[in-house]
Structure formats: C-alpha cells, structure tokens
C-alpha cells in the first residue's frame, strides 16, 4: 500500500506539472518573443513624450511640441554650451573647451550633453511598431496572460498618436474584461479619451469615478493624475475659478510634497493670470513649504521676486534677487537672475549698475533668449538716458537677431528702423550743409578735393602693398612668418607717417570703410538747397516727435526752421507742428498764437481749416459716428454651442445653420459650418458632414483656419466617393453590355465562328501569323462596294464576311496540316 502511494504521488505531481507548464510555457514564449520588446520600446517612447511635454496641465496634446516649458530655462545653459562648442575654433582652444565641458558635467551631473530629441513624426512611427507587436499578441497569443497588457499599451499608443477613436475602442475592449489589473487606470485613460473626443459629460463622470475609487483604494498616483487632467480641462475652458478650487482640493488630499509644490506654483500662475496678485504672491511663497523640484523652486522664487517689483516693493525684490544670484545652486540660471536684477536697477534709475549687468548677460550668454532681452534693455538705456543713438542702434540690432521672444524682437526691430531713419536724415542734412558750404566757400571744395585725392592715393597704395605681400606669402609658403614680420617692417617710418599725416590717415580709413565719398560740386542754387534743408529738418523734427518720442528735440528743430528758414514752403507745417508740441505740454496760449499766424497769413495752406478749428473760428462738421458693436452673431453662436454641449444635436444644427445663413460675413459663420459638419460626423451622417466640410473648402472659406483643417478630410472623402462611383459606373456598363449581347439574334452554327475557336498556327508553321492576317485583310478588301439600292442588310453582310473569313481560315489550317504531314 505504501509502495502504491509512493508511486502515485510522483505521477500526480508530474501530470500537474505538465498541465500547468503549458500555460507557463505559453506566457514565457509570449513574453520574450513579443511583449518584452513592445513594452521596452513603449516605455522609452512614453518617457520621451513626457519629457517633451511643456506643461503637465496642458489639456490639448500637441502634435509638435513647441514653446518653453518650466524645465526649458534650466536647459538653456546646455544649449548655449553646445552652440559654443560647435563654433570653429583653434585646436588648442577646442581642447580647452572640452576639458571645461567635462568639469561642468562633473559639477552638475544633471547637465549632460544635450541629445537631440525625437520629433513627433519619429515618435508616431515608433508607436506604430509598438501597436504592431501588441497586435501579434492579440492575434496569435489570445490565451496568454499578456492580453490585457497588450490592449492597454495599444490604447495608450493610439492616444499618443492622437488617434482617439482607435484608443477609445481599445480602452473599451479592455474594460469589458472581467478581471484586469488595469481596471482603474484604464478607466482614467478612457476618461481622457472621451474629453479629447469632446464627449465632456462622459469624460468628467469617469474622472469623478476614478477620483473616488482612487481615494477608496488609496492609490494616490491615480488620484493625482485624474485631478491634474481635470485642472487642465478647466484651464482649457478658461474656468479659472474651478481650476483654483480643484488645486486646493487636491492639496488637501495628497501627501506628495513634490506634487504639492507643483500645485502651489500652478495656483500662483492662475491667480496672476486673473489679476489676483496678492494671492499669486502668497502661492509662489508657499511653494518653498514643500519639496519642489529644482525647476519649480527656481521658477517660484523668480516669479515671487518679479511680482514684488510689479507691486512696487522694489527693495524687497532686489533683496530676493541678490540672494538668488548668490546661491551657487542656481548658477545655471544666472543669466535670468541678472536680467531681472538689472531691470530692478533700471527702475531705480541706477543706470550704471543696470548697464553692467546687462552687458554681462549680453556678452556671456549670447545664445540664450536672455541675451536678446539684455540687448533690448541696453538699447533702451542708451536711447532714453544717455541719448547715445549709435550704441542704442547697435544693441537694438543685436536684439533683432537674438533668440528673444517674438514681441520683444518686434519692438527692437521697430526701434532699430527708427534709428536707421534718423541716421539717414542726419546724413542727408550733413551732405546738404556741405553743398551749402561749397557754394559760399569755393576754396573749401578745392581743399577737400585735394585732401580726398591724397587720402585715396594712400588708400590705394596700402591696398597694393597688402596685395603684393599676400602674393609673396603665397609663393613662399611662409604665411605665418610673413604675418609676424609685417607689423615690424620699418616701424620708424610708419610712426613718422602717422605723426605727419594724421588727418590723411584718418580720412583714408574712412574711405576704406565707405564713410566718405569724393566731394562733388553743387549742381543747384543756394535757395533750392535752403528749401531742401528746411524740408529735411522738418522731417527730422517730426521723426523725433512722432516716432522716437523725444519732444524736446522736435521742438529744437521746429524752432530752428522758423529762425533760419522763415520763408520756406513748409513754414505752415512747422508752425502747426510747433503748436501741437505746445498743446502736449499744456501751453495752449502759445499754441493758439501759432495757429493764429497760420489762419491769418497762410489762407491757401492745407492747414488753414485745421488751424481755424483749433481756434474755434471754424465749426467742425459733426459726423455721424458708427459705434463699433460686438458681432451680433456672437450670442447666437454661444447659445448654439451650449446646445451642442448639452447633446441637443438637431437643435444645435438648426441654430448653427441660422447663423451661417443670416450672418455670412461674420467670423462665426465658418465656425458654425464646422460645427454642423462635426455633429453630422459624430452622428455618422457622413454625406451631410461632407457637404458642410465642402462649403468650408470653397474659395470663400478655404483660407480660414477651419477651412484648412477640414480640407484634407474632405478631399479624402471626395476621392473615395469618386472612386466608388467610377466602380459602380463600370459595373453598370458591364451589365448593360452583357444584356445587349444576350439580346443579339442567334446565328447559324455553320457560319458562326468564335474567336476562341480559331487555332493559331504553331511555331513550326512556315506561314507567319502576320502574313495570315494580311491575307485575310486583303481578301476582305477585294470585296467590291455595292450601291445603296443593291447593298444587303447589315446582318447579311456580316454573315457573308464571317463565311469568307471561315473559309480562308479553314484553307490556311489545311495547308498547314498538309505541310506537317509532308
């Protein structure tokens, strides 16, 4: 009995092992053959996607990640270093930079060399590979335990590809499984998908379920993800108060200090956006109560200091920024700190300190956006405080070619253009004054011409000398040696020349730079020159007044014109401009005196009427002014949109159609058409949807953003529909042809020959096929045409032709067989 038991137990264990090993082996092969590769690739791609996401609270998934995230300022130093290393340098300097980069990497381990990020196109291609691998599991390994894993990864891959309908199907398929470890997480991703598909009610309801179930199951990570998704949705809908409430609610539910710091920082941003500056200041300060990341800590500190300055607490702002600068922890963000500190000194009128800081940023961080901001501020200081327009133009021009944000770059470009205009007017005035001097002092023209010829000859000789030396260096292959010897050749003579001919050398240098042109003799009268000078001085004064916002300089030039050129054609314009200047400084009496001169002495001037209106001597015509009102279609559009969100689709379609028909010129017309097409598409009424998308694709709306958005979808639908119609037309034509053939009269079997019954000659036949066809055609051409009266009916003629063709064919076949037999 004991021996029987001893035998039975091992056998039972063996059968049990074999029974279980089938499932284990299936899972083992599935894991290592397919799932492992898919999971590894997906984890890498998801990490890349999340690293490129610029804002964790962003609702819309961007197809091309752009913009500056909270972590990007921290990475700008890496970009600057990378650009510095890419510049061509001497080998020794390059080696020094490599050593310096190694030291920086050792000091800041997080600042490793920047690896080019994958584009969204590449990421989507790799996600397609993940989907294909998971599809193999779902198709060939349905019995393995990795089916739910494959479904979940496939759904997330479709979501990241922005294929939300496909993602929804996979998440719903996974939700239908009875037991899955992804049940709660899958519900959250299904909620995200519903929100992206604009099924807001379903999505919000699922998020509430996930939040409640996460609290019950004590899954804090899922709770945080669900709540952040909801905050992002509220921000997308610009429901800022709800977003603030959700942030405060989540802060009271979680123990994660890092996420709490992120939420506090977001609270500060939202409050700052809606103008609650004190609440924003408190929120930024509260970030430090938690455990923020490096990026969040720095951003909250610098926002706090910047907000203090905006609230007028400049000394406190300076104290915070100095403390931030002196902390070695934030050396990688030193450029941003210095820009803010320089702005504080600028506001406190401490211009020398501000210039010093801005110049440090401008010269040290050339490839950062802060360099452009520093250049812009330097241009502003030199323009408004020092009145050094040359330096101001230099820094504004640098800002236009920097990486600074677009609006600052546009301002710098406008101001640089103003200074270009200023220097152009100054040069024109200088040239006209020179011509004026040449007329009054002809000997001045002769002296300047002689000086120019001497300087130009020296300039030419210097160029020839350099050219000969360069040629000699190339011939002897001793470039470096010759370059060292050139400055030392005859230094006494060079010094003598510089001493004796200082003015000529300076003029030669100006000639080489293109700053001086050969003097030309005046071609117009002195009176005409005076008129041109008066006009250019007026243009310069107007430029100071209207573009450069320097009324004192404008006053100087307007007064100068009236004193020096009182009888010129632009005198009324100058008087009126000077009167306008007096009005801006609240000296109405002086302004009226100038307007009175125009009204009394220049009745033919175009400014006569305007001067009379200023004096009250001419009544100004009362014009009916059309008050700009809001678009009348706006409230109708909002009401229609509410019907859409309430799922009253038919009423929404009717409301949107009324907007389009009654307000075709409104900016809400294309939006209404788009919504109608979208509703029909959601209702799977694709023909109706295509009709309205087609309206958006017409010439009237094709250039609008919505017209461009639906063009590809409409074109694809139209092409597919045209293809189906062509196939149906071919099918109908084929059926009609078949019916016609069936209706043909039955012919005599002896005369009826089908094409397939004609046996072509074999390769051994001596008579080629081409000859047989030629003979057949010849025999047909031998038939004599008959008159219309004697011409048989078409059917009879066809029968005779067929009989003739049959006879010829039989004869040819007989001849061929006879030759084979012989």
What is the rounded CA–CA span in Å between residue 58 and residue 235? 8
Task: Quote the CA–CA distance of 422 and 544 in Å, as a whole number.
Answer: 8
Q: What is the pLDDT of residue 745?
A: 57
Q: What was the pLDDT predicted at 32?
A: 52
SS (H, E, C) 756-816: HHCCCCCCCCCCCHHHHHHHHHHHHHCCCCCCCCCCCCHHHHHHHHHHHHHHHHHHHHHHH
**pTM attached to this predicted model:** 0.64
Q: Which of 141, 139, 131 is nearest to 29 (CA)?
A: 141
Quote the CA–CA distance of 251 and 224 in Å, as a whole number.
Answer: 10
CA-CA distance, 151 to 174, in Å (whole number)?
A: 6
Among 683, 684, 713, 686, smallest CA distance to 697 is for 713
Query: Which residue's structure tokens are 């004026």?
Result: 436
Q: What per-residue confidence (pLDDT) applies to 109?
A: 37
Rg of the chain over all Cα atoms, to the nearest angstrom: 44
Token output for 411:
């301002």
332: DSSP letter: G
Pick from 163, 136, 113: nearest CA to 37: 136
| Residues 298 and 330 sit within 8 Å (Cβ to Cβ) | yes
**What token pair was written down for 517?**
């042109």
| DSSP summary character for residue 546 | I
Q: Can you list the alpha helix ranges (DSSP code H) found in 585-685?
A: 588-601, 608-615, 633-645, 649-662, 668-682
**Tokens encoding 307:** 């907000």
Rounded-to-integer distance, Cα 704 and Cα 455, Å:
62
Non-local (6+) Cβ contacts of 292 within 8 A are 258, 261, 262, 265, 300
- Select from 639, 686, 631 the least CA-distant residue to 662: 631
pLDDT, position 691: 86
Q: b/e string for 461-481 if b means 16 or more Cβ within 10 A?
A: eeeeeeeeeeeebeeeeeeee
pLDDT for 68: 41
Q: Phi-psi region for residue 236, left (φ > 0), alpha (ψ -120 to 50) or beta?
A: alpha
Report the SS3 class of residue 168: helix
The token pair at 580 is 């306008």
Residue 543 DSSP code: I
CB 306 within 8 A of CB 290: no
Tokens at residue 705, please? 């953003």
Please count the other Cβ atoms lying within 10 Å of the Cβ belonging to residue 302: 21
Catalogue the long-range contacts made by 539-547 (C-beta closer than 8 Å, 24 or more residues apart). Answer: 539/425, 540/422, 540/425, 540/426, 540/429, 541/574, 541/577, 542/577, 543/418, 543/421, 543/422, 543/425, 545/577, 545/580, 545/581, 547/418, 547/421
Measure the CA–CA gap between 701 and 678, rounded to whole angstroms.
16
**CA atoms 481, 483, 489, 491: torsion sign:** negative
> Containing H/E element for 483?
helix 479-485
Of the chain, the end-to-end C-alpha distance in Å amounts to 97
How far apart are the C-alpha atoms of 347 and 258, rounded to whole Å?
35
Cα distance between residue 568 and residue 584, in whole Å: 25
Residue 513 CB coordination number (10 Å): 8
Instruction: State how far the Cα of 115 lies from the Cα of 172, in Å rounded to an integer.
Output: 38
Place of tokens 């770059």: 409
Distance of CA 665 to the CA centre of its chain: 29
Residue pair 693/710 in contact (Cβ under 8 Å)? The answer is: yes
pLDDT in tens, 286-333: 999 999 999 999 999 999 999 999 999 999 999 999 999 998 899 999
**365: DSSP letter:** -
CA 748, chain centre distance (Å): 78
Sign of the CA dihedral 641, 647, 651, 652? positive
In Å, how far are 271, 314, 324, 507, 698 from 300, measured between CA atoms? 13, 17, 11, 57, 49
State the maximum Cα–Cα separation within the chain, in Å, rounded to a whole number.
Answer: 143
Alpha helices in 53-115 (DSSP H): 72-86, 91-107
The pLDDT of residue 754 is 45
- Kindly report the three-state secondary structure assignment for every residue of 434-478: HHHHHHHCHHHHHHHHHHHHHHHHHHHHHHHHHHHHHHHHHHHCC
Whether 658 contacts 631, CB under 8 Å: no
Kindly list the distances between the CA atom of residue 87 and the CA atoms of 80, 82, 91, 367, 448, in Å, as whole numbers in the listed order. Answer: 11, 9, 12, 12, 45
Q: How far apart are CA 711 and CA 308, in angstroms?
A: 49
How many angstroms separate the CA atoms of 643 and 653, rounded?
9
Distance of CA 680 to the CA centre of its chain: 31
Report the distance separating Cα 645 and Cα 200, nearest Å. Answer: 8
Q: How long, in residues, is the chain?
A: 822
C-alpha to C-alpha distance for 439 and 158, rounded to whole angstroms: 82
Question: Which stretches of the chain drop beneath a pLDDT of 70?
Answer: 1-33, 61-116, 475-515, 620-630, 744-822
Distance CA 231, CA 264 (A): 13
Backbone angles phi, psi at 789, to 5 degrees: -75, -35
Of 219, 277, 210, 286, residue with least CA distance to 247:
286
CB-based contact 655:640 (threshold 8 Å): yes
CA angle (168 as vertex; 162, 171 as ends), nearest 5 = 120
The kind and range of the H/E element at 693 are: helix 686-696
For residue range 642-668, what is the model confidence (pLDDT) as tens digits? Answer: 888 888 888 889 888 888 888 888 888
Q: Which residues contact 656 (CB under 8 A, 6 or more apart)?
A: 637, 640, 672, 673, 675, 676, 679
Contact of 330 with 324, CB cutoff 8 Å: yes
């Amino acid at each position: 009995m004991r021996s029987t038991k001893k035998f039975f137990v091992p056998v039972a264990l063996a059968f049990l092992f074999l029974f279980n090993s089938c499932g284990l082996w299936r899972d083992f092969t599935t894991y290592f053959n397919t799932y492992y590769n898919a999971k590894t690739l997906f984890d890498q791609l998801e990490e890349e996607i999340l690293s490129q996401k610029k804002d964790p609270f962003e609702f819309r998934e961007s197809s091309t990640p752009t913009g500056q995230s909270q972590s990007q300022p921290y990475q700008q130093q890496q970009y600057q270093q990378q650009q510095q290393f890419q510049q061509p340098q001497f080998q020794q300097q390059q080696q020094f930079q490599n050593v310096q980069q190694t030291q920086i990497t050792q000091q800041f381990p997080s600042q490793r060399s920047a690896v080019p990020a994958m584009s969204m196109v590449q990421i989507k291609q790799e996600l397609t590979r993940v989907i294909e691998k998971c599809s193999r599991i779902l198709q060939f390994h349905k019995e393995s335990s990795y089916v739910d894993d494959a479904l979940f990864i496939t759904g997330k891959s479709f979501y990241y590809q922005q294929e939300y309908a496909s993602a929804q199907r996979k998440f719903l398929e996974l939700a239908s499984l009875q037991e899955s470890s992804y049940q709660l997480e899958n519900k959250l991703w299904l909620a995200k998908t519903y929100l992206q598909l604009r099924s807001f009610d379903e999505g919000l309801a699922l998020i509430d379920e996930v939040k409640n179930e996460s609290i019950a199951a004590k899954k804090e990570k899922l709770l945080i993800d669900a709540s952040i998704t909801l905050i992002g949705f509220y921000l997308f809908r610009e429901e800022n108060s709800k977003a603030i409430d959700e942030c405060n609610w989540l802060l009271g539910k979680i123990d994660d200090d890092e996420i709490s710091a992120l939420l506090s920082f977001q609270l500060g941003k939202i409050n700052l956006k809606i103008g609650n500056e004190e609440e924003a200041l408190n929120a930024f300060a509260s970030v430090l109560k938690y455990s923020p990341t490096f990026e969040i800590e720095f951003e909250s500190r610098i926002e706090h200091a910047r907000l203090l300055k905006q609230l007028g607490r400049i000394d406190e702002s300076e104290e915070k920024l100095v403390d931030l600068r002196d902390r070695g922890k934030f050396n990688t963000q030193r450029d941003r700190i210095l820009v803010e500190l320089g702005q504080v000194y600028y506001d406190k009128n401490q211009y020398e300190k501000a210039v010093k800081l801005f110049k440090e940023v401008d010269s040290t961080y050339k490839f950062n956006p802060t360099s452009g901001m520093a250049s812009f501020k330097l241009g502003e200081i030199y323009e408004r405080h020092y009145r050094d327009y040359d330096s101001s133009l230099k820094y504004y021009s640098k800002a236009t070619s920097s990486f600074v944000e677009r609006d600052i770059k546009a301002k710098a470009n406008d101001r640089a253009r103003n200074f270009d205009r200023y220097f152009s007017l100054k040069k024109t005035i200088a040239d006209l004054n020179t011509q004026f001097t040449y007329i009054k002092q002809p000997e001045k023209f002769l002296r300047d011409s002689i000086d120019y010829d001497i300087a130009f000859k020296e300039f030419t000789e210097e160029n020839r000398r350099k050219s000969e030396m360069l040629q000699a260096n190339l011939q002897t292959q001793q470039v470096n040696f010759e370059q060292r010897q050139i400055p030392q050749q005859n230094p006494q003579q060079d010094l003598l020349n510089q001493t004796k001919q200082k003015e000529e050398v300076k003029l030669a240098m100006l000639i080489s730079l293109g700053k001086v042109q050969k003097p030309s003799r005046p071609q117009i009268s002195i009176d005409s020159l005076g008129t041109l000078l008066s006009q250019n001085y007026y243009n310069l004064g107007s430029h100071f007044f209207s573009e450069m916002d320097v009324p004192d300089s404008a006053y100087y030039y307007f007064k100068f014109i009236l004193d020096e050129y009182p009888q010129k054609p632009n005198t009324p314009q100058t008087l009126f401009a000077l009167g306008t200047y007096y009005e801006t400084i609240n000296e109405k009496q002086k302004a009226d005196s100038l307007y009175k001169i125009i009204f009394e002495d220049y009745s033919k001037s175009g400014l006569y009427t305007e001067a009379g209106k200023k004096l009250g001597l001419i009544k100004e015509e009362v014009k009916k002014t059309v008050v700009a009102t809001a678009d009348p279609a706006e409230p109708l559009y909002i009401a229609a949109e509410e019907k859409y969100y309430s799922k009253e689709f038919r009423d929404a379609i009717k409301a949107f159609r009324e907007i389009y028909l009654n307000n075709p010129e409104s900016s809400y017309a294309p939006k209404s058409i788009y919504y109608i097409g979208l509703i029909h598409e959601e209702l799977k009424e694709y023909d109706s949807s295509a009709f309205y998308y087609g309206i958006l694709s017409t010439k009237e709306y094709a250039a609008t953003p919505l017209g461009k958005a639906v063009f590809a979808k409409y074109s694809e639908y139209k092409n597919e529909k045209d293809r189906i119609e062509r196939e149906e037309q071919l099918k109908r034509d084929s059926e009609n042809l078949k019916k016609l053939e069936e209706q043909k009269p039955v012919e005599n079997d002896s005369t009826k020959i089908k094409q397939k019954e004609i046996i072509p000659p074999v390769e051994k036949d001596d008579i080629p096929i081409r000859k047989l066809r030629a003979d057949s055609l010849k025999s047909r051409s031998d038939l004599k045409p008959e008159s219309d009266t004697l011409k048989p009916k078409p059917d009879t003629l066809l029968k005779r032709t067929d009989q003739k063709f049959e006879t010829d064919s039989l004869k040819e076949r007989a001849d061929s067989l006879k030759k084979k037999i012989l």
